[in-house]
Every structure is written in structure tokens, then in C-alpha cells.
Structure 1
Amino acid sequence: MQLTSFTDYGLRALIFMASLPADKMTTITEVSELYAISRHHMVKIVHKLNQEAFIKSSRGKQGGIRLARPAESINIGDVVRRLEPLQLVDCDHCLITPSCHLKRILAQAMKEFLAELDKYTLADIANDGNLKRIFNAEISVENLH
């Protein structure tokens, strides 16, 4: 299964925020530059993450975005379910629908895929010393420009 770029970058944004100290906020611009994607696309992703209560955002000079709760309580399967359109096939107008087993097979595969993701939290992914070093190095280089 291939995730949409929306879900992919949503997960990446959450991973970055989880790697920060709990009291530190980041910005949409910082995250979009870190991953080299358009700020406009990241705005949409952040809006959805905020709607789904994965992050908190605040406006103003001291504003920014951060996780809404501890990374240990953010389940990866839950994030994917809320960000990803999970209908794998559109069988509504298909001639072979009455005799086809593809939808059932794909539904079972999706169930197993999500069950595997349910085994992990954001903390499982983000609490990695190498990730934190990569993020710190990248941000330090950006600050030099």
C-alpha cells in the first residue's frame, strides 16, 4: 500500500514535532523547509492535524505548532486512518462486482496493514537519537542562511 503524500508528510511533520522538547513550538514554514515541500501543502496538512487534535496551533509572534498530547499517546494507525482515504477500490459501477472477491481481499489486507501500524506510537518512531541529530543538523544549517 502506498500512502498519499498528504499522509506521508503529515506523519513526517508529527515525527519532527515529537523530536522537539515538549515546550518548543515549530512553524509551518520550518517544517515545510525541512522536508522541502510547499508551504501551501503543509498548511493543509497542519490544518487537518489540528482538526484531528494531533497538534495544537497558536497564532502571533510567539505562535507555532506542537503536539497536542504526548507522542506516546499518538498511535500511528490512528493517524493513518484519519489522514488517508482508505477506500482502495471503487466497485460501485463495476460490471463484475457481484462475482468479484477483490474488494473483500483488499479490505482484509487493509485491516492487517492497519493492525500492524496500530502496534506503534509516534514515540516509537521519533525517540531515535539519529533522527534528533539529523533534525538538529538540518535546522542549524538552515539558520546559517
Structure 2
Amino acid sequence: MQLTSFTDYGLRALIFMATLPEGQLTSISEVANIYGVSRNHMVKIIHQLSRTGYVDAVRGKNGGIRLGKPGSEIIVGHVVRHMEPLQLVDCTECMIAPSCRLKIALNEAVKCFVKELDNYTLADLVDTNQPLYKLLLTERPGSAVE
């Protein structure tokens, strides 16, 4: 199974925000620049993540974005379910749909895939991952990583 770029960059945005000190704001532009994705695409991603509570969007002159809850409470499988259209095939126009077992097998495979992701939190992906911190935070102007 391959995730859409929407979900992929959504997870990457969360990972980046999880490397920041708790409560620290960043910007959509900064996240987009770090990963080399268009700002417009990242706006849509962050909007979806904020609608589902994974990101807190702070308005105003000193606003920005940050994690909406601690990384230990953000379950990767839940994020994927909120972001990803999990239907692998469209059987509506298929002549064998009434007797096809492939769609059952594919649905079971998707359930297993996402269930495995339920075993991981955002904190599991980020905490004590010093190489990740160095890669992400050295890209930020004025950041120092010990």
C-alpha cells in the first residue's frame, strides 16, 4: 500500500512539530520549506490536521502552528485514518463485484496495515531520535542542536 503525498506530508509535518520544544510555534511556510513542498499544498494538509485536533493553529500577528496534543497521544494509525482515503479499489462499475472476493482481501489487508500503525505514536517516531533532530533542526535558521 502506498500513502498519498497528502498523508505522507501530514505525517512529516507532525514529526517536524514534535521535534520542537513543547508549545513552540512554527509556520506553514517553514514546514513546507523544510520538506520542499508547495505552501498551498501544506496549507490544505495543516487545515485537515487542525480540523482533527492534531495541530493547533494560532491566529494573529504572533500566530503559527504547533502540535494540538502531546506526541504520546497522537497515534500514527489514527492520523492515517483521518488523512487517507483507505479504499484501494473502486468496485462500483465492476461486473464481478457481486461475487468478487478480492475486495474483501484488500479491505482486510488495509485493516491490518493501519492496525500495525496503531502500535506507534508520534513520540515513538521522534523521542530520542537524535539523528532526526539534527536533520530537521539544522535546517531552521538560528537553530542549534546539541
Report matched runs for 1:1-145 at 5 Å: 1-127=1-127, 128-140=129-141
The AA in structure 2 aligned to 1:133 is K
Q: Deviations over 1:14-39 (max 9, x none)?
A: 00001110021100000000000000
Aligned equivalents of 2:123 and 2:70: distance in 1? Answer: 8
Q: Deviations over 1:37-78 (max 9, x none)?
A: 000000000000000010101122210000011000000000
Q: Does the 8 Å CA contact 2:54/2:74 hold for their aligned counterparts? A: yes
Specify the SS of the correspondent of 1:140: coil
TM-score (norm 2): 0.94
Q: Does the 8 Å CA contact 2:13/2:31 hold for their aligned counterparts? A: yes
Specify the SS of the correspondent of 2:57: strand
Aligned equivalents of 2:92 and 2:23: distance in 1? Answer: 48
The AA in structure 1 aligned to 2:136 is F
Matched-pair identity in %: 54
Q: Identify unmatched segments of 5+ residues in structure 2.
A: none
Q: Identify unmatched segments of 5+ residues in structure 1.
A: none
Aligned equivalents of 1:65 and 1:10: distance in 2? Answer: 13
Runs of 4+ in 1 over 3 A off after TM superposition: none
Structure with the higher fraction of residues in helix conformation = 1
